[in-house]
Amino acid sequence: MKNEKEVWVERMMEYAAKPSSSTRSKEKVFHTILDILERPEGTNNIISFSQFRLVGIAALIILALNIGVIGFTIVSNNDKAESKSAYGLHEYNLDLY
């Protein structure tokens, strides 16, 4: 005899196999299709998965480059600051002597 959980799971499996669907806006969908077909090819706003992935990869590359440039700028500014203070120290020593 099945327990409550098994009965519930089997009921959900039946729903999965026979989802209740309705084509409420069949005509509206058809008109949308005709509108899409009337636009010149290549200008519709349905993008494919591969186009979306390409844009995502390009965005990540640009972000990585920006982080790289910012990091390089910070490091090179630090180097310049250190060399400035070293120069100052030499001058100080010269003054002493």
Partner 1 sequence: MSDRELLEKISAGDKKSFGAFYDKFQSQVYRTAFGYFHNNSDAEEIVQDVFVEVFRSAGKFKNNSNLSTWLYRITVNKSLDRIRFQKSAKRFSFFSAIFFDEDNGLKDNIPDSTDHGIEADKKESEKIIFRAMDKLAENQRTAFVLTQVEDLSGNEAAEIMGTTAKALESLIQRAKANLRKELGEMYNTRRK
Q: Interface with partner 1 by CB under 8 A: which residues?
A: 5, 8-9, 11-13, 15-26, 29-30, 32-34, 36-37, 41, 44, 46, 48-49, 52-53, 56
User: How far is the C-alpha of 26 from the C-alpha of 76, rounded, in Å?
Assistant: 63
Nearer to partner 1, 46 or 94 (CB): 46
Q: How far is the CB of 74 from partner 1 (least distance, A)?
A: 19
User: How far is the C-alpha of 79 from the C-alpha of 59, rounded, in Å?
Assistant: 30
Q: How far is the CB of 62 from partner 1 (least distance, A)?
A: 13
Nearer to partner 1, 36 or 86 (CB): 36
User: How far is the C-alpha of 92 from the C-alpha of 84, rounded, in Å?
Assistant: 13
Report whether 44 contacts 36 (CB < 8 A). yes
